[in-house]
Chains A and B, each alone.
Chain A
Amino acid sequence: MSQQLLRDSPGPAADAAGAPDPGREKAGDPAAGAVQTSAPAAVGLEPAAHPAVARLARTARALLKSPGLVLAVLVIAVVILWAVIPGAFTHWPPDTGVPSARLKPPSAEHWFGTDSLGRDLFSRVVHGSATSLAATAVAVAVGLVAGSLLGLLAGFLRGWVDDAIMRVMDVLLAIPSLLLSLALITVLGFGTVNIAIAVGIASVANFARIMRAESLRVGSAVYVEAARSSGVRWHGILLRHVLPNAAGPVLALSALEFGMAVLSISSLSFLGFGAPPPAAEWGSLVAGGRDYLVAAWWLVTLPGLVIAAVVLATNRISHAFQDPERNRT
């Protein structure tokens, strides 16, 4: 009977073919939980083992139901590891090429092939991820901090401050974000840090809107009224009620904006506003392959695939953040 159940519980996982490893590792746990709940004799044992096992089982089952999410987390984890310890993933140097090995197609030796100077493309993608991810993180941080502050100010002070801030945000939303970033780059100048800041500023309006909506929602809740009337000061309300409650939607937006920022930054570095040539960055790697479209398909295709995978993964994760929020309200 337990065999039967064992086969039953991972059923949905087998359905979604190729569920990744971590899910499968934990799949042993739900079996334990399943046996307990199904066999009445085991009920007496439950209190001892229950909470931890059940929680593990629930997480495992939830993960197995969405193999896409597991894959997305894996992709992001791998890319972050690329950025932190690139040496562990490739032994090829990113900047020095082997002239005899120029424009070699992907092989077991060079996973992504080599470029026109004989440099290993996979190594350049791995080593470039530090720059690309750092720029993305800066962009999201700028948008998150500045946008949240403005949104909090608007939602908290209301009145003309609210009007003034939100009218400016409306104008920023009326201009396509890439164009806004380009206008900012005109003034800030080129370079990775500057495009990161420009992309961040272009996303300020989105954060401000969400933060304002959340602080208005929380600020008018009955328990906040109660807190206020029992003498809690404004900063207490801000720290204890508004910020924790706004965290969910703002985090979901951050994950989404992270993906968008990867796209914007790679677009801007593709257009040539990022780091100057020797440095590798995902967008500029694709741009570097432009001149070899006929001779070397991999130069454009593979780095682009990495960008797409990262954006797809962050969008999936953002979706997971949003789901419980949507169910709650």
Chain B
Amino acid sequence: MIRYVGRRLLQGAFVLWAAYTVSFLILYLLPGDAVSIMASGDEQNAVDPALVAKLRSEYGLDRPLHEQYVIALFKALQLDFGVSIKNGVAATQAVGEVLPETIKLAAAGFALAVLLGSALAIAASFSRNRWVRQLVAALPPLGIAVPTFWIGLLLLQFFSFRLRLFPALGNDGAQSLVLPALTLAIPTSAVIAQLLTRSLHQTLGEPYIEQIRAKGASDALIHFGHALRNAAIPTLTMLGILVGNLLAGAVVSETVFSRTGIGRLTVTAVNSRDIPVVQTLVVLAAAIFVITSLVVDLIYPLVDPRINTAARATA
């Protein structure tokens, strides 16, 4: 088991290194480096070419690319992703400061998404009425197709401005978390509902369900006591991607509701073309994906004891 985890950590480290390298290549290889962007950004006061050259050597941008890369990589290993071009704060610090707000939002959004998604899937499976079934089945494709920013704005319009139930913007308290979290939850819950409905349908056709039904188990016992647990596994597999989508959703949700967080930071960083901050965010997203996948792999045996993670690793 420990060997397995060690191997997975190595794999994770590889993905992170690769993510760093890919983002380095994208962000630094393409024309327009940090300093020239900074210099061109100020249109009022023309920047002295000598100063630009000095800045470039200060940032190490005049060295050959492979040298820049090795230096940057060693710094990155010490969690130094460079300095934000916008305000001179270390990029990791800029991200770290607002990260807790986004974690709160994403956690609330994820909890809501799981709740909504499973409720929909179970309702679709439970209901005997054809119309209810069709209505419930029509919701997930709808949830996937509507733009997140639109959902956010509609919620804002209705619940904040018309009903005045929730504050329209800001980060103050749980009240302000409800609508952004719901915005985040709707597309994710649609994906969960679709995956879970499909696997629940499949699981309910298995012989062992037939067996317990024959023994007289009620629908509720079959669903909650037996089928749901097995049906959850395919959804669990997608968790890494779902959490990544939450991050992407946070970009939109935080912008719509003017919340501080890494989503809003991403937008401002892209707007001011703040390359160090953007790169930190990209590597952070990859890290979250790696960690989620590892956690999911470790959770599998708890959900289904037949899955032996360690044995699978050696296979």
Alpha-carbon distance between A267 and B245 when the two chains are bound, in angstroms: 14
Query: Quick check: is A103 within 8 A (CB to CB) of the other chain?
Result: no
Residues of A within 8 A of B289 (CB): 174-175
Query: Quick check: is A50 within 8 A (CB to CB) of the other chain?
Result: no
Alpha-carbon distance between A207 and B26 when the two chains are bound, in angstroms: 20
Residues of A within 8 A of B290 (CB): 174
Within 8 A of A (CB), among B240-281: 240-241, 244-245, 247-248, 251-252, 255-256, 266-267, 269-271, 273-275, 278-279, 281
Residues A267 and B149 in contact in the complex (CB < 8 Å), given A171-B15, A174-B15, A176-B244: yes
Alpha-carbon distance between A311 and B255 when the two chains are bound, in angstroms: 22
Residues of A within 8 A of B267 (CB): 182, 271-272
Q: Is the CB of B153 within 8 A of A267?
A: no
Nearest CB of A to B307, in Å: 22
Nearest CB of B to A125, in Å: 13
Q: Is the CB of A304 within 8 A of B18?
A: no
| Interface size of A as a range | 35 or more
Which of B145, B154, B247, B271 touches A179 (beta carbons < 8 Å)?
A: B247
Query: Quick check: is B142 within 8 A (CB to CB) of the other chain?
Result: yes
Residues of B within 8 A of A286 (CB): 147, 149-150, 153
Using CB atoms, name the residue of chain A closest to B153.
A300
Q: Is the CB of B252 within 8 A of A267?
A: yes
Residues of A within 8 A of B103 (CB): none
Residues A304 and B145 in contact in the complex (CB < 8 Å), given A187-B27, A187-B32: no
Contacts between the two chains (Cβ within 8 Å), count: 139
Using CB atoms, name the residue of chain B closest to A290.
B153
Using CB atoms, name the residue of chain B closest to A170.
B15
Using CB atoms, name the residue of chain B closest to A304.
B150
Q: Is the CB of A186 within 8 A of B22?
A: no
Q: Is the CB of B26 within 8 A of A187?
A: yes
Query: Quick check: is A308 within 8 A (CB to CB) of the other chain?
Result: yes
Query: Quick check: is A315 within 8 A (CB to CB) of the other chain?
Result: yes
**A171-189 interface bits toward B, Cβ cutoff 8 Å, 1 = contact, 0 = none:** 1111111111011111111
Q: Is the CB of B278 within 8 A of A300?
A: no
Within 8 A of A (CB), among B210-242: 240-241
Which of B141, B161, B285 touches A294 (beta carbons < 8 Å)?
A: B161
Residues A301 and B154 in contact in the complex (CB < 8 Å), given A174-B19, A187-B26: yes
Residues of A within 8 A of B256 (CB): 290
Q: Is the CB of B19 within 8 A of A186?
A: no
**B163-192 interface bits toward A, Cβ cutoff 8 Å, 1 = contact, 0 = none:** 000000000000000000000000000000
Q: Which of A179, A182, A273, A290 has the most CB of B within 10 A?
A: A179
Alpha-carbon distance between A25 and B146 when the two chains are bound, in angstroms: 32
Query: Quick check: is A7 within 8 A (CB to CB) of the other chain?
Result: no
Residues of A within 8 A of B244 (CB): 174-176
Q: Is the CB of B154 within 8 A of A273?
A: no
Query: Quick check: is B199 within 8 A (CB to CB) of the other chain?
Result: no
Query: Quick check: is A76 within 8 A (CB to CB) of the other chain?
Result: no
Query: Quick check: is B124 within 8 A (CB to CB) of the other chain?
Result: no
Alpha-carbon distance between A182 and B248 when the two chains are bound, in angstroms: 10
Alpha-carbon distance between A315 and B150 when the two chains are bound, in angstroms: 18
**A262-303 interface bits toward B, Cβ cutoff 8 Å, 1 = contact, 0 = none:** 010011001111000000000100110110011001001100
Q: Is the CB of A183 within 8 A of B23?
A: yes
Alpha-carbon distance between A304 and B266 when the two chains are bound, in angstroms: 23
Q: Is the CB of B245 within 8 A of A176?
A: yes
Alpha-carbon distance between A175 and B285 when the two chains are bound, in angstroms: 6
Which of A171, A188, A259 touches B145 (beta carbons < 8 Å)?
A: A259
Residues A311 and B18 in contact in the complex (CB < 8 Å), given A175-B286, A179-B251, A186-B273: no
**A226-260 interface bits toward B, Cβ cutoff 8 Å, 1 = contact, 0 = none:** 00000000000000000000000000000000010
Q: Which of A170, A259, A286, A304 has the most CB of B within 10 A?
A: A304
Residues of B within 8 A of A178 (CB): 248, 251-252
Within 8 A of B (CB), among A136-190: 167-168, 170-180, 182-189
Alpha-carbon distance between A293 and B156 when the two chains are bound, in angstroms: 8
Which of B18, B148, B274 touches A167 (beta carbons < 8 Å)?
A: B18
Q: Is the CB of A180 within 8 A of B154?
A: no
Query: Quick check: is B282 within 8 A (CB to CB) of the other chain?
Result: yes
Which of A183, A272, A290, A293 touches B26 (beta carbons < 8 Å)?
A: A183
Using CB atoms, name the residue of chain B closest to A292.
B157
Query: Quick check: is A312 within 8 A (CB to CB) of the other chain?
Result: yes
Report A's interface with B, CB cutoff 8 A.
Answer: 167-168, 170-180, 182-189, 259, 263, 266-267, 270-273, 283, 286-287, 289-290, 293-294, 297, 300-301, 304, 307-308, 311-312, 315-316
**4 further contact pairs, Cβ within 8 A, besides A308-B147, A311-B147:** A270-B149, A283-B149, A304-B146, A304-B150
24 example contacts (A-B, Cβ-Cβ < 8 A) are as follows A174-B290, A175-B19, A175-B286, A177-B248, A179-B266, A183-B281, A184-B26, A186-B270, A186-B273, A187-B30, A189-B32, A266-B149, A271-B149, A271-B252, A271-B267, A272-B271, A293-B156, A304-B150, A304-B153, A308-B145, A311-B146, A312-B142, A312-B145, A315-B144
Q: Which 3 A-B pairs have the closest CB atoms?
A: A304-B150, A178-B248, A176-B248
